[in-house]
């Protein structure tokens, strides 16, 4: 190849590389939950930064599965719950450490930021910071059910009229309602297996009470609205949404404690646009932006001061569901050690197969 042609070829290659890098810099690939990236917030972010956001909706199980399948590729920012970071990172290496110097830490509620950093630390490195938090408990039609704790899902007077998920939170909830603390057994696989086996038997015996195991929001909410269901184990915002239309339907913090979760921001191991990820995190932590996300998701955020901008109805519903004693009794999910979900999965498979 003569010199002019070599120069042309080199110039073309550099142009392609630059164009590719520029396109990457202008796109954030986000794997998140429904309601966490509302349209108006995405549009505002793009207008301010020039960065487009590709939103893929998911849940904890699917997030971990997708990242395992690609060794942490395919997305620039993901939002697993804080208990789904340390274990999967230790076992599968699907995240990369966060550069905390690129975060505007003053925008976070200090106690929540510190706690989440502690719970997502592996080998001295932080892998997650908090975004949205909430709880799982009971949604009860108070005209037709007297349920006050998870065990009441299996009470005779609720036969055929309850719903729950056939997932790990239900096993954990039943353990707390039985007077046990499953979180204290996380590092004792033998004892944890025995406890989960017992809870599996309870759930198998409870199947006659279950109208359906819910896996999608629409079916569950429709069942409660219609009166087909009297009681369900579900998330707080779903209960508050139903309460707006029917005051008899309430979200109740169970006597044994609501289960508290924190959804985070985390960086996939092979994400290609960390700068866009940090820009999105800092943007979302601004109180006025966080208030918009909270309104869409129906949950409170880790943004300092955003709660003062929250919808008045939501603030009242929260106060009604969580008097001081119930708030102090929330059972916050700790990090899940490797192997725990395998134990639970085997138990849930047996419950599913039980007649």
Question: What is residue 231's three-state secondary structure?
Answer: strand
Strands (E), 108-229: 121-122, 125-126, 129-141, 162-164, 210-213
pLDDT at 311: 83
Length of the chain counted residue by residue: 355
pLDDT in tens, 255-295: 999 999 999 999 999 999 999 999 999 999 999 999 999 98
Q: Is the pLDDT assigned to residue 6 strictly greater than 80?
A: no
pLDDT at 1 over 90: no
The pLDDT of 323-334, averaged and rounded, is 92
Model pLDDT, residue 314: 86
Mean pLDDT (the chain, rounded): 92
Same topology for domains 3-133+261-321 and 134-260+326-353, yes or no?
Answer: yes
**Which architecture characterizes domain 134-260+326-353 according to CATH?**
3-Layer(aba) Sandwich (3.40)
CA–CA gap between residue 127 and residue 119 (Å, rounded): 9
Asked whether residue 98 carries a pLDDT value surpassing 60, the answer given is yes
Given a cut of 80, is residue 11 above it in pLDDT?
A: no
The pLDDT value recorded for residue 24 is: 58
Tell me which H or E stretch contains 117.
helix 110-119
pLDDT score recorded for residue 25: 77
Cβ-based neighbour number of residue 222 at 10 Å: 12
User: Looking at the predicted structure, is the pLDDT value of residue 308 above 80?
Assistant: yes
Q: Select the more confidently predicted residue: 164 or 10.
A: 164
Rounded CA-CA distance 351/355 in Å is 9
Q: How large is the average pLDDT for residues 60-72?
A: 96
* Tokens matching residue 144: 């037709």
Task: Please work out, in degrees rounded to the nearest 5, the angle formed at the alpha carbon of residue 250 by the alpha carbons of 244 and 255.
Answer: 155
- Mean pLDDT, range 199-205, rounded to an integer: 98
HSE, side-chain direction, 13 A CA sphere, residue 92 = 24
The residue-averaged pLDDT of 179-190 equals 97
pLDDT digits (tens, 9 = 90+) for 14-56: 444 444 444 557 999 999 999 999 999 999 999 999 999 999 9
78 confidence band (pLDDT: 50, 70, 90): very high
Region 96-125 average pLDDT = 96
Banded pLDDT at 8 (limits 50, 70, 90): very low
Torsion of CA 274, 115, 104, 72, to 10 degrees: 0
Residue 338: pLDDT band by 50, 70, 90 thresholds?
A: confident
Tell me the CATH number for domain 3-133+261-321: 3.40.190.10
Over residues 132-144, the mean pLDDT reads: 97
- Is residue 94 pLDDT above 60, yes or no? yes
Give me the residue spans of the domains in the chain: 3-133+261-321, 134-260+326-353
């Amino acid at each position: 190849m003569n010199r002019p042609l070599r120069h042309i070829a080199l110039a073309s290659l550099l142009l392609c590389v630059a164009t590719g890098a520029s396109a990457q810099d202008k796109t954030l690939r986000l794997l998140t939950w429904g309601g966490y990236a509302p349209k108006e917030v995405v549009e505002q972010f793009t207008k301010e930064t020039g960065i487009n956001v590709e939103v893929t909706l998911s849940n904890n199980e699917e997030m971990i599965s997708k990242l395992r399948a690609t060794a942490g590729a395919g997305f620039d920012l993901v939002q697993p719950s804080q208990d789904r970071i340390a274990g999967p990172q230790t076992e599968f290496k699907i995240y990369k450490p966060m550069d905390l110097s690129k975060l505007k830490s003053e925008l976070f509620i200090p106690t929540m930021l510190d706690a989440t950093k502690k719970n997502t630390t592996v080998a001295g490195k932080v892998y997650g910071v908090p975004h949205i938090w909430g709880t799982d408990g009971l949604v009860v039609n108070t005209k037709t059910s007297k349920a006050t704790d998870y065990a009441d899902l299996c009470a005779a007077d609720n036969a055929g009229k309850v719903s729950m998920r056939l997932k790990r939170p239900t096993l954990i909830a039943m353990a707390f309602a039985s007077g046990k603390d499953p979180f204290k057994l996380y590092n004792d696989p033998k004892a944890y297996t025995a406890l989960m086996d017992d809870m599996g038997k309870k759930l198998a015996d409870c199947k006659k009470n279950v109208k359906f195991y819910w896996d999608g929001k629409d079916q569950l909410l429709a069942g409660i609205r219609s009166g087909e269901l009297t009681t369900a184990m579900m998330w707080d915002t779903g209960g508050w949404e139903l309460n707006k239309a029917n005051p008899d339907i309430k979200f109740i913090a169970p006597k044994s404690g609501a289960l508290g979760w924190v959804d985070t921001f985390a960086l996939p191991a092979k994400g290609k646009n960390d700068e866009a990820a940090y820009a999105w995190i800092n943007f979302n932590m601004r109180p006025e932006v966080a208030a918009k996300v909270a309104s869409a998701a129906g949950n409170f955020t880790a943004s300092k001061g955003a709660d003062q901008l929250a919808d008045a109805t939501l603030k009242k519903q929260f106060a009604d569901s969580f008097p001081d004693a119930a708030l102090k009794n929330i059972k916050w999910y700790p990090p899940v050690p490797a192997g725990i979900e395998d134990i639970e999965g085997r138990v849930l498979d047996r419950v599913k197969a039980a007649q």
